[in-house]
A and B are shown apart, each in its own frame.
Chain A
Amino acid sequence: DAGVTQSPTHLIKTRGQQVTLRCSPKSGHDTVSWYQQALGQGPQFIFQYYEEEERQRGNFPDRFSGHQFPNYSSELNVNALLLGDSALYLCASSLVGAGTDTQYFGPGTRLTVL
């Protein structure tokens, strides 16, 4: 049973550039959430996608956008990168209606903005 996978593992960008991160959910899951984890901090919710729609959004600017595909995989896009966007980006998947919507996390993508 494949777990949550993310690509790439690491990424280095410069300020002002744009980046796309990818996530494939755990088999059987239909919901994808994205979190940003800055160094030394707990993860912070960016947004969640279900049925190809953004279901809820955290306190992040519009530079952060996402997409969910019919196969439930998802992308996170960040435009006009800032130094402060350097973080570990975590994808989590879950199954709507499974009771507690327990979220299972991928290994993350480490983004460094120079």
Chain B
Amino acid sequence: AQSVTQLGSHVSVSEGALVLLRCNYSSSVPPYLFWYVQYPNQGLQLLLKYTSAATLVKGINGFEAEFKKSETSFHLTKPSAHMSDAAEYFCAVSDSQGGSEKLVFGKGTKLTVNP
């Protein structure tokens, strides 16, 4: 079964610094991978998705992620953090076994941005 592991439950950066949130996946087939963001007391918003079209995926709000098969990674980056980026970020893999494409999520990484 597919799974994802997010390294680091909390990440703290200064405003203007690079954001790097790590995600490694385990999949027996070419995966579909996603990053979602969750602001306090809200649902999940799709940031970006990898569907094998291109290894570097650009998303909303200046985020991007690179699919590296050799490292089984799909890390999320943003060159310059803004205060508004403070939120929890979830990496997910689509598991199509069983006839539907359920999402399997990591445990999340809480991003804090310091002024």
User: Could you tell me which A residues sit within 8 Å of B by CB distance?
Assistant: 4, 6, 31, 33, 35, 40-45, 48, 50, 55-56, 58, 90, 92, 94, 99-108, 110
In the bound complex, do residue A100 and residue B105 qualify as a contact, i.e. CB atoms below 8 Å apart? Answer: no
Chain A residues, CB < 8 A from B108: 40-42
B32–chain A nearest beta-carbon distance, Å? 5
Contact B46 A102 (CB under 8 A): yes
Interchain pairs with CB closer than 8 A, number: 66
B interface residue count range (under 10 / 10 to 19 / 20 to 34 / 35 or more): 20 to 34
**Which residues of B approach A to under 8 Å, CB–CB?**
32, 34, 36, 41-46, 49, 51, 90, 92, 94, 98-108
Q: What would be 23 A-B contacts, judged by CB atoms less than 8 Å apart?
A: A4-B43, A6-B43, A33-B102, A35-B103, A40-B107, A40-B108, A41-B108, A42-B90, A42-B105, A42-B106, A43-B105, A45-B104, A48-B102, A50-B100, A55-B100, A92-B44, A99-B51, A102-B34, A102-B46, A103-B101, A104-B46, A106-B43, A107-B43
Contact A105 B99, beta carbon cutoff 8 Å: no
| Closest partner residue, chain A, to B52 (CB atom) | A100
* Inter-chain contact B36/A44, CB cutoff 8 Å: no
Chain A: CB-nearest residue to B44 = A105
Distance in angstroms between the alpha carbons of A106 and B44 in the assembled complex: 7
